[in-house]
């Protein structure tokens, strides 16, 4: 069984500040980990993914995440927030022969001018 916990349902930052969205996962098999972003009235857009190999993963729009097996974490960061980053962010896990994505509850990111 797999599960995802996103700490903080709502995160608010100032424009130009560091963005840190937290994700912890549980998986009985080596996990594949993903971050998706959802803008209002839209589907989910893939930001980045970790499957195997390098644990620091770079994605689109300046986002990156680090897979830490010992901490079962996959936190999402961006050095400098932009107004256009305001959206809801979802962490997801899949693994083994089960290709379904298990999502966290999401974190709503607000960026203040």
Where does this chain touch another protein (CB under 8 A) — which range of 15-23, 62-70, 73-81, 97-105? 97-105
# residues near another protein by CB under 8 A: 22
> Could you tell me the sign of the dihedral formed by the alpha carbons of 106, 9, 64, 92, in that order?
negative
Out of 44, 62, 64, 72, the only residue in the binding site for another protein (CB under 8 A) is 44
Out of 13, 21, 23, 36, the only residue in the binding site for another protein (CB under 8 A) is 36
> Could you tell me the sign of the dihedral formed by the alpha carbons of 99, 93, 50, 12, in that order?
positive
Q: Is 98 in the site for another protein (CB under 8 A)?
A: yes
Distance in angstroms (rounded) separating the CA atoms of residues 32 and 48: 11
Q: Identify the three-state secondary structure at position 62.
A: helix
Residue 71: CB minimum distance to another protein, A: 23
Distance in angstroms (rounded) separating the CA atoms of residues 76 and 58: 10
Binding site for another protein (CB under 8 A): 32, 34, 36, 42-46, 49, 51, 90, 94-95, 98-106
């Amino acid at each position: 069984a797999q599960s995802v916990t996103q700490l903080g349902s709502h995160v608010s930052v100032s424009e130009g500040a560091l963005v840190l969205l937290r994700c912890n996962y549980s998986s009985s098999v080596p996990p594949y980990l993903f971050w998706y972003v959802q803008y209002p009235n839209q589907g989910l857009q893939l930001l980045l993914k970790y499957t195997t190999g390098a644990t620091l993963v770079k994605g689109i729009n300046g986002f990156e995440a680090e897979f830490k097996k010992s901490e079962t974490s996959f936190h999402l960061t961006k050095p400098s927030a932009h107004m256009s980053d305001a959206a809801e962010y979802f962490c997801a896990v899949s693994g083994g022969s089960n290709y379904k994505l298990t999502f966290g509850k999401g974190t709503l990111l607000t960026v203040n001018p």
